[in-house]
């Protein structure tokens, strides 16, 4: 079952189009969006399931994410290092963590949260003290304001959790250059008002 069960099947030939092309077409033809849902529903469900253990909650989150993507389709702009896929996964991850932030009972929150992510959740007092720091939308918006080479390295390191050696390989630069860029990026974020990462 997909989000758009009642939508007419996508026209022939759309399967060959890129995600970005499909998103742009869906702004004027909503039926086109079903191709993106078909492409990403299973992967989004798997990813959300790694963060959230409750199947019903996962389905709700994935549906909310597709709605959010569709509603913001016209705002999406192709930039270096920002594909539809990375944009969609950012929205998904943010939605998963936002869902849990809304739960009042921290114990129920930690009980349902996959053990891989439990250690990322601060205690209630830490959450109050560092709420702005932990707001991933806020952090990502600041990272997007950095120069591209700094933002890309910091995103890989802080958001995607890659180790510096792996980043050096991805970016094709030395380990020292990765460390320097991370340091410079954090310094720039501090000037923008973000607490230490």
Cα-Cα-Cα-Cα dihedral of 155, 116, 85, 58, to 10°? -140
Task: Tell me what pLDDT residue 105 has.
Answer: 45
Q: Read off the pLDDT of residues 80-122 as tens digits, 9 standing for 90 and up.
A: 667 888 888 888 888 888 776 664 444 444 545 545 454 445 4
| Structure token digits, residue 114 | 């996959």
CATH of 1-121, one of 1.10.1740.10, 2.40.70.10, 1.10.10.10, 3.40.50.720: 1.10.1740.10
CATH of 122-197, one of 3.40.50.2300, 1.10.357.10, 1.10.10.10, 3.40.50.300: 1.10.10.10
Task: Tell me what pLDDT residue 190 has.
Answer: 79
Task: Tell me what pLDDT residue 1 has.
Answer: 46
Global model pTM greater than 0.75: no
Contact yes or no for 96/61 (Cβ under 8 A): yes
Contact yes or no for 50/44 (Cβ under 8 A): no
pLDDT along the chain (197 residues), means of 10: 47 77 89 91 89 82 92 81 83 82 50 49 44 54 82 82 89 91 85 62
Contact yes or no for 69/91 (Cβ under 8 A): yes
Contact yes or no for 194/133 (Cβ under 8 A): yes
Q: Where are the domains of the chain?
A: 1-121, 122-197
Task: Tell me what pLDDT residue 87 has.
Answer: 87
Task: Tell me what pLDDT residue 15 has.
Answer: 79
């Amino acid at each position: 079952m997909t989000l758009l069960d009642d939508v007419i099947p996508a026209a022939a030939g759309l399967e060959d189009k890129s995600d970005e092309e499909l998103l742009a077409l869906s702004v004027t033809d909503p039926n086109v969006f079903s191709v993106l849902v078909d492409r990403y529903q299973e992967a989004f469900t798997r990813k959300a399931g790694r963060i959230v253990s409750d199947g019903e909650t996962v389905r709700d989150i994935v549906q909310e994410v597709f709605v959010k993507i569709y509603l913001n389709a016209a705002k999406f702009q192709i930039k270096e290092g920002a594909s539809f896929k990375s944009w969609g996964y950012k929205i998904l991850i943010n939605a998963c963590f936002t869902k849990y932030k809304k739960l009042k009972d921290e114990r129920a929150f930690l009980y349902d949260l996959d053990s891989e992510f439990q250690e990322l959740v601060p205690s209630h007092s830490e959450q109050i003290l560092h709420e702005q720091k932990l707001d991933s939308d806020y952090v990502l918006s600041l990272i997007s304001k950095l120069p591209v080479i700094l933002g890309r390295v910091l995103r890989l390191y802080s958001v995607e959790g890659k180790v510096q050696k792996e980043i050096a390989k991805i970016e094709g630069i030395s380990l020292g250059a990765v460390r320097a860029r991370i340091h410079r990026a954090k310094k720039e974020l501090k000037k923008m008002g973000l607490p230490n990462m």
